């Protein structure tokens, strides 16, 4: 028998294969994820990248490659996976809805740059986020920032969609939050079936957005042509 932990068997990597499986809405982090600081992480990652490139047969004495391990390490810690560190979570300050705006607010076409946690290849697309105020409102740029924060980590698109909604629900004190993400996965587009046309759409609807009429209104908004050029 296989040992089962959190619903997954001990040899789950063989069982999962290329399937997109998420075990939780929370990013799977070890308890000691922040036991070492960012500088030490960069040092360790640089060493690992150097070993990977050397194993692949690359000549790291070449001028073009000499700085690659350091550049990759810096990019991983400071940029691409900076959303793993809760210290980088944007402050989601809210304000009283003094103007009594009672309709949904939609922020559409938020750029998504993330990384598939199965092959460490890019996920690129757009997020559309909406909420209905229950007395509090949030700065528009904060919606972009919270998408970017959760995107900057090894991700599964389904989890990313849920995390954005849950973070805004907590900040705004309402369940009436929705998110739709449409993105291309380079693990599909550039390897495997190499289908460059397909994209993945995920959604999470909370509170009033579970009502089909309100959900339809939101979906109609994000289909609107807002090209003002």
Catalytic residue annotation: 116-119, 157, 185, 187
What backbone torsions phi and psi does residue 19 show, to the nearest 5 degrees?
-70, 145
Q: Nearest to residue 79, comparing CAs of 122, 143, 125?
A: 122
Integer Cα distance of 186 and 123 in angstroms? 6
How far out from the chain centre does Cα 72 lie? 19
Integer Cα distance of 185 and 198 in angstroms? 9
Q: What one-character-per-residue DSSP string does 84-143 give? A: GSGGGPPP--EEE-TT---SEEEEEEEEEEEEETTT--EEEEEEEEEEE-SSEEE-HHHH
Triad 193, 195, 199: Cα angle to 5°: 125
Contact 152, 81 (CB under 8 A): yes
Q: Is the dihedral of CA 40, 45, 48, 54 positive or negative?
A: negative
Tokens (6 digits) for 162: 């849920």
């Amino acid at each position: 028998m296989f040992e089962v932990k959190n619903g997954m068997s001990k040899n789950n990597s063989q069982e999962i294969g290329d399937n997109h499986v998420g075990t939780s809405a929370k990013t799977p982090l070890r308890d000691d994820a922040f036991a070492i600081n960012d500088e030490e992480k960069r040092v360790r990652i640089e060493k690992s990248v150097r070993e990977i490139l050397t194993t692949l047969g690359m000549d790291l004495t070449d001028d073009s490659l000499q700085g690659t391990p350091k550049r990759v390490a810096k990019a991983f810690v400071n940029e691409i996976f900076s959303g793993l560190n809760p210290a980088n979570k944007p402050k989601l300050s809210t304000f009283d809805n003094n103007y009594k705006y009672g309709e949904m607010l939609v922020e559409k076409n938020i750029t998504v740059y993330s990384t598939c946690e199965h092959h460490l290849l890019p996920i690129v697309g757009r997020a559309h986020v909406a909420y209905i105020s229950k007395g509090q409102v949030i700065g528009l740029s904060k919606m972009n920032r919270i998408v970017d924060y959760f995107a900057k980590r090894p991700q599964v698109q389904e989890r990313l969609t849920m995390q954005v909604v849950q973070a805004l629900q907590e900040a705004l004190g309402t369940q009436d939050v929705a998110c739709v993400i449409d993105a291309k996965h380079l693990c599909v587009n550039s390897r495997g079936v190499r289908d460059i046309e397909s994209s993945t759409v995920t959604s999470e609807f909370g509170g009033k957005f579970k009502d089909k009429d309100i959900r339809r209104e939101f979906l109609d908004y994000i289909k609107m042509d807002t090209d003002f050029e």
